């Protein structure tokens, strides 16, 4: 019997396929490193609701679907279409604190800032306008780099 046949029969050398079979139980026991959760900001524009000949209500939902807080969130709402009327009334409902940085009522835009948006939190924005034009929306967030020492 050759040395190679002897190694194969005794199991001391089994080649790559044998190595894979040998390591499979060990691989199942290893705890894989979980990815670091990130913030995931999403928005949904609600369909307009018209009160005939009076006003149109449009809504927006912004939510953090990620596993980490989103910092320095900026919600930009803009009605760019020519002839679009301005926002007559606006209401923001949020679990966290927010600041209206620009626009809002009597304007065609609104800029809303939140310092932090916790995971699974939501911000609701309701706007009353005179036509059913949907707004253009952008939602951004950023992390400030740590301060240098």
Residue with tokens 């253009």: 136
Give exposure, 11-44, as e/b (b: 16+ Cβ within 10 Å).
eeeeeeeeeeeeeeeeeeeeeeeeeeeebebeee
pLDDT (tens digit per residue) in 65-107: 998 999 999 999 998 876 667 899 999 999 889 999 998 888 9
Strand-pair category, 99-103 with 55-64? unpaired
Q: In this model, does residue 124 exceed pLDDT 90?
A: yes
Question: Is pLDDT above 90 for 5?
Answer: no
What pLDDT, on the 0 to 100 scale, is given for residue 37? Answer: 78
Are the CB atoms for 129 and 54 separated by under 8 Å? no
Residue 48's CB: how many other CB atoms inside 10 A? 16
Going by the DSSP 8-state scheme, the letter that residue 36 receives in this structure is: P
pTM > 0.85: yes or no = no
Q: Residue 31 pLDDT more than 60?
A: no
Averaged pLDDT score across all residues of the chain? 83
Nearest to 104 by CA among 81, 117, 86, 85: 86
Which one has a higher pLDDT value, 51 or 24?
51
DSSP 2: -
Backbone φ and ψ of 89, nearest 5°: -150, 145
Q: Are 61 and 117 contacting, i.e. CB atoms less than 8 angstroms apart?
A: no
pLDDT at 69: 92
Cα distance between residue 128 and residue 20, in whole Å: 64
pLDDT band at 131 (very low <50, low <70, confident <90, very high): confident
What per-residue confidence (pLDDT) applies to 10?
Answer: 52
Per-residue confidence at 22, pLDDT binned at 50, 70, 90? confident
Cα–Cα dist 95/121, whole Å: 7
């Amino acid at each position: 019997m050759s040395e190679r046949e002897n190694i194969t029969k005794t199991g001391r050398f089994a080649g790559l396929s044998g190595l894979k079979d040998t390591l499979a139980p060990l691989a199942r026991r290893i705890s894989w490193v979980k990815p670091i959760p990130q913030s995931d900001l999403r928005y949904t524009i609600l369909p307009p609701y018209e009160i005939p000949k009076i006003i149109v209500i449009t809504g927006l939902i912004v939510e953090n679907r990620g596993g980490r807080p989103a910092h320095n969130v900026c919600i930009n709402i803009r009605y760019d279409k020519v002839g679009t009327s301005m926002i007559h009334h606006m209401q923001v409902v949020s679990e966290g604190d927010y600041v209206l940085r620009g626009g809002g009522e009597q304007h065609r835009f609104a800029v809303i800032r939140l310092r932090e948006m916790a995971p699974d939190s939501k911000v609701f924005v309701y706007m009353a306008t005179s036509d059913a034009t949907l707004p253009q929306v952008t939602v951004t967030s950023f992390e400030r780099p740590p301060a240098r020492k």
